[in-house]
Each structure stands twice: as structure tokens, then as C-alpha cells.
Chain A
């Protein structure tokens, strides 16, 4: 239990910003729940208020339990949540074809949200323990595994957006945990090559539909044989170079085997993704790059979101007066596109204030990481901050049309109990680390 002087050390700017953002969120959920024709509210805002109450209590509770204890139990927390996640993925109630929720009748919980937190705690703990060995490439095996397991399970639900949020958190935590930049760079390169190639193919195939000239090129690559041969050849070169390096230890061999290994892995991954990623998922990424490709699908959402934001102007259309959201032109307005509602009803002024509040949270998080009394605290605080940050940029970026449509909630604002409660617990941890910064 925390001592009295620890509670006095509570980080008020952080706490107040969080409360303000949640209140803005509830107001917006009230606004979006209002039907201007039937003059009725769907009452979702009340549910969100209940979740806020629960989350607030949990936040304060978590703030008072020493976070180091979490470090000690991090593996159990991780495995426990993972277990529930697997059960949900197998037995969960499908909502919009995704088995991501456990239904308790009057409310339901999304374990994948809590998985994020469990994952960050375990990663922080692991990186603390392996602080000195993390530069070694083999040490990356375990954090990769810790990442890939939940990503894969959540992807199978399927919840593409939530699965993908682990990736930037993973790399950022590795980076902050002291991993070798060239190693991280290699992994990112592999992923980039692996992703980019199928994208280009899908694009050519989709846009060039009916274009006879492109058909031979598409079938040439689609057969995957060629990519496989190239990847195999590069792998052989890499192995030979590696063996040579093993015997003669010359820098030149290292310069050969690392890039060829990276390319080879990237190509293998691209062949894998070509078969693994569903067509609509590939298209979704393409539509982000060029929304006019699909003005009725996810491109429609972005166009309507930009209309909502742009038509808000400087001071906005006023609370409850956003036509794009009130009249239903803006899709997913209570969850994914709630930022657009803020920008429409409260204009540049309101949306800038909201972003400023987020900035307070993130910079306070960074400050807490700086001042943390131990490496675990630093990594945990920076991991949580990273999570907040990436949720924010992916969500707001999506509504602004500068990020792909992924279906991630805007932390603290979007309607949804699990995300709110998880995020408040995460804030509790930040407060916790802050309160114990003086203990060395």
C-alpha cells in the first residue's frame, strides 16, 4: 500500500487531462446518440458514464498498488489474459463476424484490449531483465514470440486493427529498451518488403482490371514461383556469406549476408502474405492510399469524415448541430470516427483543445518514464505512452485522411467499456510510477 506522501505526489495535470478527455467523449457520445428526427437519445452515454466510474475506481486502485508487483507477476498476467483471449476467439459471441467479445448479458468485455496492457507489462519486464543482452540478435526471439502470439490470435478473431496496434508498440519498446537499431531496421525492412510487394500486385490487378497488357505480369508474379526462386537464391547467398564470415570474419561478408538475408526474408514473407491476407484487407490499405478507388466502401467513410471535419470550420456547427453526424452521413460516429464529430461540432477550436489534452497525457507519460525510479518503470511508462500515442495517431490520422482505416478506437473518447477501463488502468499505472519516482 502506498504511503500518504505518495498520494500527495499524484500527477494532477495527467489526471485532469484524462478526466477532461473522458468528459468530452461522453458529451460526444451523447451528441451522436441523439436522433434529430425521433428526438430521442439511444442512451449509450449513460453506459459510458458507468464504465468511466468503474474505470476510475480501478485506476485509483491500480495507482496505489506498487507497480513492481505487476512486474513480478507479469508472466502470469500475460498468460492469464492470453488464455481468456484464446477462449474468446474460439467460443466468443460473434459481433459483426468477429469473435472478440465475452458477453455477460447486460455488458460485454473485449479481452484483446486488456491483452495490450498485459503485453506491455511483460515486454517491459523482459526488457528490464535482458537489459544487457538485448543487443544480441537472438535475444529478440522471445519478445517477437510474445508479440506474435496475441497478434495472431486477435487477427484470427478477426480484428485487424487491434492486432496491428501491437506492431508499432513492439518496435518502439524494443527501441527504447535498447535493442540494436540495425536489427530493428532489418526486421522493419523485412516487414516492409513483405507487405509492399503484395500491395503493388493487388493494386495493379485491381486498378488494371480488364487491362490485357497487365495480365501476363500479374500472373507471372501471382504464381509466386519466381518470388520463391529469388528468395531461395538470396537465402543461399546469405548462408554462403555467413559461413565465409564465420571462418574469415571479414566485414565484407557481413555486408553481404545481412542485406541478402533481409531481402530473402522479405520475399518469403510477401509470398506468405499474398496467400494469407484477405483480398478486402489488401484493398483496404490501398483505399487508404487512394480513397477514390472505393467511394462507397471504406473510402466513403474517409470522405464523409473529411467533410464533417472540414465543414466544422473554425468554431464548429455547435453541440448537437453537426449535420454530418446527426443525419447519419458519418459512419461509426460513436466509435472510430468520434474525433470527426468533435471537429464538426466544435470546430478547429474544439479539436485543437482535444489534441492539446492528448499532448499533455503523452508528454506527461514521457516525463514519468524519464523520472521513473527503475528500468521497469521507465519501460512500462514509455510502453503505455506509446500505446496511447499510436492509438491516437492511427485514429485521428484516419479521420483526417492521412492514415488507413483500421477500426481502432480513440482512447478515452470513443464509446466502448473495455478500451476505456483498460486505458484508465494504464493511466493508474502511470500515476503509480510517478508517485514512486523518488524511491530508488
Chain B
């Protein structure tokens, strides 16, 4: 019995020893748990807190209202003529990754496509090609009653969100198409370049014109609604995370009335009109024809319209005021005149005889024709009557170098730097260029052509407008611009106002200026632009008719120019420059001058002079 008892005690002791071992294990485990709890809840609290928030929060962007665009006569007190504004509408979006499986996604999109009437296949293809975590815009500009329907059948449309999405409205349709431009969905390249500037893939961006150039100022800052959702994306509550900030408004230098007049006067003509104030570079009118309706471009069913516009041989998207080059023709005689007077001390009183043609003597004699027989005339009348023979002789006499030099002085070979994108350079040839391109030296014939603005030379409308501005401004050229001021979104504050930016200064003597202006005055009084003579303000002008060859038979084979300004004897600050260019017109006097007539009349009535 004693032996049994001792074994028992020994065993009891063994049990207790092992029990201590077990207790140690329990203690270790409890310590581990507390350590892990501390680690998760205290050390890593921030991280897990963030992850828990991102689990339940779904941020839905509230698009900012894009800034409005007004014409130059904007005032705080009056009801202003708006050129571009917004109207409220809704769009339908989703985050594809929220769908548990593709079948549910496809099913939901299919149901939506029946309700909202869009092409199911193209949308589902787009969704599959997009990043599933990015918000995808299924349809824009959805009617309110459709939204109500989707909202009331939420369980039929899981993960489908909707939100405000203001739609841009261009009030005057085609009239400002090229100046203002239009907006569109941001594309891959634009997004890649601009995402660091805060652009989101679902946003709109200006594609051309003012909308593009001033996009950063117009776009504003999107806000967002913070939605609390459960694991099935059912909404538990929502609050405004950040209010959107509307974009800044823009006041243009363009005068709506002038633009409208030019637009109507151009009618079916192809070409462009630029009206600007030479003393500051403010553009009063920038028009290009043919045009398009930006409202259609940004509309939801724009595919057909876009296709039609892209196919159009007349290239309506081309801004002919800044993106096309034409031979300046007789309007270039102004440059020839200036270079002769400035560099060669040419006597403006010297008379030359015009028998209707000029024969260039050489290995083979070549005749260069004038459109008429002018007889004997001095320089002023040669400009006024646009006598080519006078300028052939003048050009031959002074040589091409100084003519080209002055063309360059006036910046005809460069962009003017207007504040909308896409402007192209003008083109001024050179002896070197000709040798390189054609393997031929510069011939005298080239000089004769150059002196009347034909041949290789090609300029833009805005470039010509700047040239005339330089004459009015006594040699000073300003950068033409379209934006007068940028205002805060409530119009109360002025963010920035445009200050004239001097491009260059061409040294011109007063005599030179007088001769040129008088010549241009003669053109209006009893020359090629005599049609403008009756207008009460003294106008100076110069027409041009460029010989060209159209690819199309039914087009006239000439480009018609009119460049001019008024008043003849006014200060630069009171002057306005008008340049009209009509593609395949009949002649400057026939096609371009009537447009200028309408514009000058309007300017006069508006009190610009």
C-alpha cells in the first residue's frame, strides 16, 4: 500500500510537471495574441483604417461646370450674350470591377441598353477594353425620367451609378466653331500627357480652339459624392465629399455682332475673315468657312455626323484663318512697295508705263501680263489700281533680296502666335531654298512673280492681318489674341486681363507709310475696292486675286483677297483691320470686297470709328 502511495505521488508530480508545461504554452499563446492585437490595432491602425474606408466608400465624381464664354461686350450688370455655356444633364456610370462575375455585368448592361437605347455590343467591348477599376461612363446626357426608373429598380441595375454631367452648349451653333472649338472625351494620349495635371480618364477636354487652349482655366475642379456602400454595393448613405468648383469664365475679344455679320456675309463662300484692332492685337472676328456645328460634335449620337464631316472634301474642320496658306497675290504689293521705299529710296512720284504686259528679256523672252492696260501711273496709283506691270518693273529693279527681307520683317514666314492651337507658318521662299528644292537658281521670273505675290510665296490670313496692322501701327506688330479677360466663376473677380504683346517692330519711315496708305486709299476711292467708297468712314484697302489651280473643275481658279483698314487718317488705337480671303473666288474685287463691305458697315454702325 505504501508502495502504491509512493507511485501515486510520483505520478501526481509528473502530472503537475506536465500541467506546468501546458500552462507555459497557454501563457505564450495569450502573449502572442495580445501582441498581434496590439500590432494590428495600434501599430497598423492607420493602414487598416484606410483599407476599411476604401472598402465601404465609393466616390462618385461630380463634374465641375465648365466656364462660360462671352463676347467682348461682357458687362457685370447686363444680361450678357453667352457664346458657350452648359445645361444640366445626367450620365450613367459603373465600376466594372464591382461586378462579381462577367455574366452579371453583361446582363446588367443588356438591360440598360434596352432602357437607354444604346448599342450593347459596342459598350460591352469598350468596358472589356478598359481598366475595370476605373469608372466607366456608359451613357451621357440621360433624361431625368430614365434616372428615376433606374433608381427605383436599383436591384435590377446593381453597381450602376448616375450623376450630374453638364452638357456644353454652343449657343450660336456654327458661327464660332473654329474660334471656340469644342470639347470631347479625353483620349489615351491626352490622358497620358495630362494625368499629372489632375485630368481624369472620364473627363472632357477641349479639342480645338479656345476650348483647348484655355482648357485648364475653363475646366474647374470636379467634386465628388462619398457614398457608403455595403459589400453588394447597396447604398447606405451619401454625403458630399467635395463640392465641385466651376471653371473660370472667359471674355473674348470677339464682337458677336461683327462675327455674325461676317458669318452672314460669307454665306456659302469658302474662306476666312479676320478682323482685329491693330493697336492691341484684339481679334474682333475670326471666321472660317465651311464650318460645322460643335453641338452636333459633342452630342451623344455624333458618329454619323463626324464621319460625314471627316469625309467632306471641303475639310470643314480646317480653320482657314490660321491653318491654310495661300499666295497673297496683289496684297503683297504692299510689301514690295515698302521695301522699295525703305531700302532703295524709290521715288514714289516716278511714273512707269503699263501697256498691259511686261516682257522679261532673256534667252527666251517671256511676257508677264497685267489684268488691264493702265498707261502711265505713279506708285500710289499703281497700288490703287493694282497695276502688275508697275510692280514687275519695280521688283526687277530692286531685286528679290530686299522684298524677301521685308516679308520676313513682317513675320509672314512665321506663326503670329494667336492664342488658339493649330496655327501654321506662312512661307517665304529664298534663293537658297529654291536651289535646294528644285536644284535651280533664282530666276528673274521668280522675282517678277514674287513682286506681285505670286509664285512660291504663301501666307495665312492672320499673317496678312498682322502685316496690315504693322502698317497701321507704324511698324509695330502685336500678337493677335482672342481672350480679353478671364473672370472667376461668378464673374466677380478678374483672374487675368490681356495686355498687348509686342511681336516685333519694323522700322518704317513716315513717307513710306503715307505712300502705302494713300495707295490703299486710292484703291477704295476709285480703284479695285471702289465698292467700299460710299461708306462714311475713310477706308484703305487692297485687293488680291491669286491664280491657282483647283483640283475640282467647277471651282473658280482664283483665290480672292481683301486686306484693309479704317479709318485712313486715324490713330492706330481707333483703327480696325479687316482681312477677307475667299477660296476659289472670282476676284478680290468681286468675291472678297462685298464681305469686307458688310463688315466695315457693321463696324461703323457699332461705333468702332
Contacts and interface: CB of A to CB of B under 8 A. Distances in A.
A107 B366 CA distance: 115
A324 B19 contact: no
A132 interface: yes
Contact of B36 (A36, A323, A378, A402): A402
A258 interface: no
Contacts of A396: 33
A350 to B, nearest CB: 10
B38 interface: yes
Interface string A321-350: 001101111000000000000010001100
A312 B49 CA distance: 8
B41 A312 contact: yes
Contact of B56 (A323, A348, A400): A323
Interface string B4-20: 00010001001110110
A327 B45 contact: no
Contact of B234 (A37, A363, A401): A37
A304 B231 CA distance: 11
Interface stretch (B21-29, B78-86, B300-308, B575-583): B21-29
Given A309-B37, A402-B32, A323 B55 contact: yes
A133 to B, nearest CB: 12
B102 interface: no
A176 interface: yes
B49 A313 contact: yes
Interface centre among A37, A314, A401 (most CB of B within 10 A): A37
Given A327-B229, A329-B231, A400 B40 contact: yes
A351 B37 contact: yes
Given A132-B7, A348-B37, A348-B41, A310 B16 contact: no
B19 A176 contact: yes
Given A172-B22, A176-B19, A313 B33 contact: no
A18 B19 CA distance: 22
Contacts of A401: 36
Interface centre among B14, B34, B41, B232 (most CB of A within 10 A): B41
B33 A308 contact: no
Interface in B414-461: none
A131 B8 CA distance: 10
Interface centre among B22, B32, B53, B228 (most CB of A within 10 A): B22
B571 interface: no
B22 A366 contact: yes
A370 interface: yes
A183 interface: no
B55 A329 contact: yes
B230 A328 contact: yes
A397 B30 CA distance: 10
Given A313-B49, A389-B26, A370 B55 contact: no
B34 A355 contact: yes
A116 interface: no
A347 B41 contact: yes
A313 B37 contact: no
A175 B17 CA distance: 11
Contacts of A402: 32, 36
B22 A400 contact: no
Contact of B19 (A132, A351, A370, A375): A370
A36 B55 CA distance: 16
A400 B235 CA distance: 29
A178 interface: yes
A382 interface: yes
Contacts of B608: none
Given A310-B45, A311-B52, A313-B45, A327 B228 contact: yes
Contacts of A393: 29, 33
B44 interface: yes
Interface string A375-388: 10010001000100
B583 to A, nearest CB: 63
Contact of A307 (B7, B52, B230): B52
Contacts of A178: 11, 14-15, 18
B51 interface: yes
A176 B42 contact: no
B534 interface: no
Contacts of B229: 327
Given A348-B37, A352-B37, A397-B33, A328 B232 contact: yes
B55 A310 contact: no
A327 B231 contact: yes
A313 B19 CA distance: 35
B310 interface: no
Contacts of B42: 313-314, 348
A437 interface: no
A348 B44 CA distance: 12
Interface string B38-68: 1011101101110111011000000000000
B365 interface: no
A37 B236 CA distance: 6
A36 B228 CA distance: 11
Interface centre among A175, A323, A326 (most CB of B within 10 A): A323
B52 A308 contact: yes
A62 interface: no
B15 to A, nearest CB: 6
Given A327-B236, A352-B37, A310 B47 contact: yes
A85 to B, nearest CB: 28
Contacts of B234: 37
A434 interface: no
A359 interface: yes
A328 B26 CA distance: 33
A311 B231 CA distance: 17
Interface centre among B7, B32, B36 (most CB of A within 10 A): B36
A36 B236 contact: yes
A256 to B, nearest CB: 29
A151 interface: no
A409 B492 CA distance: 66
A349 to B, nearest CB: 9
Contacts of A351: 37, 41
Contacts of B29: 389, 393
Interface string B475-491: 00000000000000000
A329 B29 CA distance: 28
A323 B14 CA distance: 50
Nearest to B23: A366
B33 A382 contact: no
A309 B48 contact: yes
Interface string B169-182: 00000000000000
A115 interface: no
Contacts of B232: 328
A386 B234 CA distance: 43
Interface of B: 7, 11, 14-16, 18-19, 21-23, 26, 29-30, 32-34, 36-38, 40-42, 44-45, 47-49, 51-53, 55-56, 228-232, 234-236
7 contacts: A37-B236, A310-B48, A329-B56, A348-B42, A363-B23, A378-B15, A400-B33
Given A306-B48, A311-B52, A327-B229, 17 more contacts: A132-B7, A175-B18, A176-B22, A304-B55, A309-B41, A310-B44, A310-B45, A311-B45, A313-B41, A323-B228, A343-B37, A347-B41, A348-B38, A366-B23, A366-B26, A386-B22, A393-B33
Q: What 7 pairs across the A-B complex have the smallest Cβ distances?
A: A310-B48, A311-B52, A328-B231, A327-B230, A310-B40, A348-B41, A311-B48
